[in-house]
Each structure stands twice: as structure tokens, then as C-alpha cells.
Amino acid sequence: MPTTAELIEAIPIIISLIIIEGLLSVDNALAIAAMASHLPGKQKVMALRLGIFGAYFFRFVALFSAQFIIENEWVKLIGAAYLVHLLASHFARKKTGGEHDSLGEQAVKIAGRGFFATVVSIEFMDLTLSVDNVVAAVAMSDKLWVVCTGVFIGILALRLVAGYCIKLIERFPTLEDTAFILIGFVGAILVYQLLAHVHVNAFQKFIGICIILGLSIWYSDSAKVRAVLGPPLRMTLPPMRAYAAVSNVVVNAITWPFRRLWRIVSKST
């Protein structure tokens, strides 16, 4: 059991995870709904239920890898690079004019037409997002109980927080991108810690996350802030695209067998 001091020290990390997982859960919940939207009534309800169940199940399954990630620095480094990849690939998909496909919109394009193919697609997505969930939690803390708390928060966020976050994103559209900025931030911090052999404490990470969240809301709500921050932010897109170009090759090579199996199953139904 953690001591009182450890609990107090973990509070900033847990709050940070609530913010990150809450925003990420919006994409998860919206994607499940989007992927099942073409099905008829009862099948749609069943696909939605199976999708939420899969999100819960795979998060619990992913927890079994958490201790291994924590104990091996090379795995943590790969995980950190993967979090930066999520940030870079998200913004690399931006079209001219700043528009991009959301996870839900991408999901609709690739979901199978039949019930079984749709459920397989949803579960594959749930597995991917569960890995993201655990890696992000490990990047925030190397204590297993904190990671478990973060994953549990992710499970609760799917049910409880996502609805509030959807309303918040409707009010501040930039927050849809903020989730990826936050996981990219914690990934970059972890890379820095591992390569420079320095320690960034929980409070410093929390302050960084609060600053990013505050600036995102301010950016979304103020034309003047967008005018000031827009140009330097656009300058970050070329290096992100370059990173994504490399990381996508690696990620696609690793996930190719699973994606191939998914396509075969989808086409056969």
C-alpha cells in the first residue's frame, strides 16, 4: 500500500491523467459511435455495447504489460517515441487550411459494412487506444499503482467524463488537438529523462500540462492569441510531418499483420 506521502506526491500525476484520459476518451467514445452508426437498430446497440466492453477489457489486458514497460528502459523509450508519433501523425494529417479527419471520421471510412466486421474493427481500435492509454500512464509515473490508477481513470472516463469533455470541446474546439499535444508532451518529457538521465518530478509535469491546457483554451477563445501563436505553431508542422513520415513506416511495419488480418475478416463478412 502506498504511504500518505506517496499518495500526496501522486495527486498531480492523477489529476494530469484525468485530463489526458478524459480528452482521449472523447475520441474513443465518438469513434465507437461513428463506426456503429451505419448498422440497423438492434445491431447498432449491440455493437456499441461490445465496443464499450472491448474498451474496458483491453485496458485491463494492457495493464499486464505495464510492469514490463516500467522495468525496462528501452521499452519505455520505445513507448515514449510512440507517444511523440501519435502527436506528430495527428498533426501531419492536417489538410491545407487546418482541417483534418477526426478518429471517428477515419473510423467510418475503414469500418466494414457487416455487423461482425464492424465489431472486429471497433475491437481493433479499442486495443490500439488501450495501448496508448497504458503507455501514456507509464510515461507519467514509474509506479505500478499509479499506472493502474491512470488506466482505471481511463475506464471511468469512457463512461463518466467523455460526455462533459464533448461539451467542453464544442465550446473550445482546439481541445480536440490538445489531447495529442499532451501525450506528445509526456512522451517528449520521458525521452528527455531517459536520454539526459534527469528527473522531472510530478509537479513539474503537472504544471506543464496545466500550461498547455490553459493556452489551448485561450487559443480557442481568442482571435488575438490565434494571430500571435498561429505562425509559430504552423512552423512546427514540417518537423512533425518529417517525424511522422519515419515513425509511420515503423508503426505500419509492426502492425501490418494485424491490419492485414483485420481487412481479411472485414472483407469476408
Residue 123 lies in domain = 4-267
Q: How confident is the model at residue 243 (pLDDT cuts 50, 70, 90)?
A: very high
73's CB contacts (< 8 A; 6+ apart) are: 194
Q: Is 96 exposed, middle or buried (0-12, 13-18, 19+ CB in 10 A)?
A: exposed
- Are 143 and 10 in contact by the 8 Å Cβ rule? The answer is yes
Q: What is the pLDDT of residue 118?
A: 74
Mean of the pLDDT values across residues 104-128?
Answer: 64
pLDDT at residue 76, as a whole number: 87
Rounded Cα distance between 213 and 70, Å, is 27
| CA gap 68, 153 in Å, rounded | 21
Percentage of residues in the chain with pLDDT exceeding 70?
80
CA distance 250 to 128: 15
Report how far residue 242's alpha carbon sits from residue 128's, in angstroms, rounded to the nearest whole number. Answer: 23
**pLDDT tens digits along 94-115:** 643 444 444 444 444 444 457 7
99 φ, ψ (degrees, to nearest 5): -85, 155
* 39-82 per-position pLDDT tens digit: 787 888 888 788 778 877 887 887 788 888 888 888 888 888 98
* Cut 0.85: pTM above it: no
C-alpha to C-alpha distance for 107 and 118, rounded to whole angstroms:
10
CB 26 within 8 A of CB 166: yes
Query: pLDDT of 167-213, one tens digit each?
Result: 777 788 787 788 888 888 988 998 998 898 888 887 888 899 889 98
Cβ density class 136-147: b for 16+ within 10 Å, e for less: bbbbbbebbebb
When divided into structural domains, the chain yields a total of 1
> With bands split at pLDDT 50, 70 and 90, how would you rate the model's confidence at 125?
confident
